[in-house]
Amino acid sequence: MTSITSGVALHPEEKLGILSKEHIVAGPGFNRWLVPPAALAIHLCIGMAYGFSVFWLPLSKALGIKESIKCGPDVGFFGQLFTTTCDWQISTLGWMYTLFFVLLGSSASLWGGWLERVGPRKVGVIAAFCWCGGLLFSALGVYLHQFWMMILGSGVIGGIGLGLGYISPVSTLIKWFPDRRGMATGMAIMGFGGGAMVGSPLAADLMKYFATPTDVGVVQTFLTMAAVYFVFMMAGAFGYRIPESGWKPAGWTPKPAHVNNAMITQHHVHVSKVWGIPQFWLIWMVLCMNVSAGIGVIGMASPMLQEVFGGSLVGVAKKFGELDKAQLAAIAGVAAGFTALLSLFNIGGRFFWATISDHLGRKLTYVIFFVLGGLLYFSIPGSAAAGSKLLFVAAFCVILSMYGGCFSTVPAYLADIFGTQNVGAIHGRLLTAWATAGIVGPVVVNYMRDYQLSLGLPREQVYNQTMYILVGFLVVGLICNLLVRPLNPKWFMTPEELAIEKRLAHEKVKGSEVHGDGTHAHDKPSNPVFVVLAWAAVGMPLAWGVYRTMITVAKFF
């Protein structure tokens, strides 16, 4: 088929128009700093998966409004999927959280290779339809009081959108910022951590606004957030651009492999081979062990603070079990501030540690995660026994910063070891480690807590053994990280195989030289105003989320 106007033969993929990969190859003079805000726009929306628990309490009273209408003993989990006569239990609703991260890992693994072929815009658009469409279907499920519809809507369909949206910018950012891989992925994945910081207070405000004496306001909140998120995610997807093959920043030249960066390859591995490469499984274990420990800490941080320090959090010389209802409510408010403080460190760590890794190297950065993290985990029982709230809180804050940093640094680690050609797809497969950790971490922590309580240990001591188990997780992760070595050349694609892969990925080869400022000689650079507006569009909601979080943090102090 030929173009009527030009007579030039069209590649079949060009028939797909504005969503095709060819359509988003950046033109001359494009400013690469327009890409991170596009990635942030998507990650800030899907990051609300972290904050979905804000809906659990209202949904547990969706029928009773003021008090839950409890299900009879004959109504188990499967009965709650279809019942319309009693409210859902919070423990049942919590399965949504598990589904999110299982589907995130599995969908990213399944469709990561497809992402490399079709480009980030098409994947971003599909992610928007899945994530926001899932919210719409969930709203219908809440309206009809059918939990299976919520499971299918937000859990399955939304979970697929979550996985696709999460990996959509990774390969693109790494190719735009070969000189700052860690920083680039850190900016985007910081947005995923910040999604709950923005979405949770927004959802709480909307539910409060829409609530009536006969409605908890969740349906309207889902509909409103779906509309807002759809606008942001589509804007982000259409803001994606990819560089021409061979593009590099002006004035930047990759260092030879022997100059302080032997771990950074200039070659590329095909995604189909990674399951058989030992280094992939070592990094898989690195991520799984770090995240298992981190998720365990996130789940226990708030109750541990309350049970360990009890009434001392509000100036009362009583243990947790001796407090009355008003005092328990007061320390719960303090614990909410503590949780908000941890979220700030989680988000800040994603950018900080990923950026630092550009200078220290990815392997050394993970050594710090495991060694420093292990020491901090080990110190927590001691600081708790000594009654030192400062050391206790400081340890948790640093741990959560490294938990976030683990996520944001790993895409650059993969690019260093396996090359950039298929890094998005390889990252997608690695995220199965996250799905595994999402099950392992909470199960170990919850089981150990219940076991320690059954032995009759005081509440302030039930977490000590758990901390030592998490130190063991980090030791395993450290050993795996130390075993990571540069790949045997046999795993890399040959020049002929790479050329075929580039054709399959519809890459456009760079065909002209660039000026010293990174723009083509005959074109002007992108208008700086557009860059400022793009960053403002994502910066303002993020700043609002930080402001609302700081208000909650103030309760802790």
Residue 538 lies in a domain: no
Average pLDDT over residues 28-43: 93
Average pLDDT over residues 531-554: 93
Contacts of 64 (CB under 8 A, 6+ apart): 87
Which of 465, 487, 507 is the last residue before a domain boundary?
507
Task: Specify whether 229 is located in the same domain as 84.
Answer: yes
Average pLDDT over the chain, rounded to an integer: 86
Which of 247, 277, 311 is the last residue before a domain boundary?
247
pLDDT recorded at residue 261: 60
Tally of structural domains, the chain: 2
pLDDT recorded at residue 518: 40
State the amino acid at position 85 in one-letter form: T
Task: Specify whether 46 is located in the same domain as 111.
Answer: yes
Task: Specify whether 201 is located in the same domain as 272.
Answer: no
Give me the percent of the chain exceeding a pLDDT of 90: 51
Q: Please determine, for residue 520, whether its predicted confidence score (pLDDT) is greater than 50.
A: no
Task: Specify whether 37 is located in the same domain as 177.
Answer: yes
Task: Specify whether 196 is located in the same domain as 269.
Answer: no
Q: In which band, very low, low, confident or very high, does the pLDDT at 7 lie, cut at 50, 70 and 90?
A: very low
Task: Specify whether 356 is located in the same domain as 235.
Answer: no
Q: To 5 degrees, how large is the angle CA 203–CA 206–CA 208?
A: 110
pLDDT recorded at residue 205: 93
* Complete DSSP assignment for 338-386: HHHHHHHHHHHHHHHHHHHHHHH-HHHHHHHHHHHHHHHHHHHHHHHHT
Task: Specify whether 369 is located in the same domain as 451.
Answer: yes
| Contact call for residues 320 and 312 (beta carbons, < 8 A) | no
pLDDT recorded at residue 16: 52
Q: What is the CA radius of gyration of the chain?
A: 24
Residue 515 lies in a domain: no
> pLDDT higher for 284 or 306?
284
Residue 13 lies in a domain: no
**Rounded CA separation 81/145 (Å):** 9
Give me the percent of the chain exceeding a pLDDT of 70: 91
Q: Please determine, for residue 509, whether its predicted confidence score (pLDDT) is greater than 50.
A: no
Task: Specify whether 58 is located in the same domain as 166.
Answer: yes
Which range, 44-53, 132-141, 172-181, 339-348, is most confident? 132-141
Which of 190, 223, 247 is the last residue before a domain boundary?
247
Task: Specify whether 177 is located in the same domain as 228.
Answer: yes
pLDDT recorded at residue 12: 44
Task: Specify whether 472 is located in the same domain as 419.
Answer: yes
Q: In which band, very low, low, confident or very high, does the pLDDT at 460 lie, cut at 50, 70 and 90?
A: low
State the amino acid at position 110 in one-letter form: L
**Rounded CA separation 128/141 (Å):** 20
Q: Please determine, for residue 371, whether its predicted confidence score (pLDDT) is greater than 70.
A: yes
**Rounded CA separation 322/310 (Å):** 9
Buried b (16+ CB within 10 A) or exposed e, 224-261: bbbebbbebbbbbbbbbbbbbeebbeeeeeeeeeeeee
Average pLDDT over residues 435-451: 78
Residue 524 lies in a domain: no
pTM: 0.86
Buried b (16+ CB within 10 A) or exposed e, 194-222: bbbbbbbbbbbebbeebbeeeebbbbbbb
Which tokens in the block code for residue 63? 């029928």
**Rounded CA separation 245/446 (Å):** 49
Q: Please determine, for residue 316, whether its predicted confidence score (pLDDT) is greater than 80.
A: yes
Residue 9 lies in a domain: no
Q: Please determine, for residue 306, whether its predicted confidence score (pLDDT) is greater than 70.
A: yes
Name the region of 125 (left: φ>0; alpha: ψ -120 to 50; beta: rest): alpha
List the CATH number of the domain containing 210.
1.20.1250.20
Buried b (16+ CB within 10 A) or exposed e, 130-151: bbbbbbbbbbebbbebbbebbb
CA trace torsion 343, 349, 354, 357 (10° rounding): -160
Closest by CA to 41, choosing from 198, 221, 202, is 198
Residue 426 lies in a domain: yes
Residue 214, SS3?
Answer: coil
> pLDDT higher for 241 or 448?
241
pLDDT recorded at residue 19: 87
Residue 418 lies in a domain: yes
Q: Please determine, for residue 95, whether its predicted confidence score (pLDDT) is greater than 50.
A: yes
Task: Specify whether 43 is located in the same domain as 92.
Answer: yes
Domain that holds residue 32: 28-67+77-247
pLDDT recorded at residue 523: 37
CA dist 242 → 12, 238, 519 (Å): 19, 11, 15
3-class secondary structure per residue, 484-507: CCCCCHHHECCHHHHHHHHHHCCC
Q: In which band, very low, low, confident or very high, does the pLDDT at 384 lie, cut at 50, 70 and 90?
A: confident
Residue 129 lies in a domain: yes
pLDDT recorded at residue 507: 63
Q: Please determine, for residue 341, whether its predicted confidence score (pLDDT) is greater than 70.
A: yes
pLDDT recorded at residue 48: 92
Sign of the C-alpha dihedral, residues 357, 360, 361, 366?
A: negative
pLDDT digits (tens, 9 = 90+) for 197-237: 999 999 999 999 999 999 999 999 999 999 999 999 999 99
Task: Specify whether 356 is located in the same domain as 412.
Answer: yes
pLDDT recorded at residue 209: 95
Backbone angles phi, psi at 217, to 5 degrees: 85, 10
> pLDDT higher for 63 or 441?
63
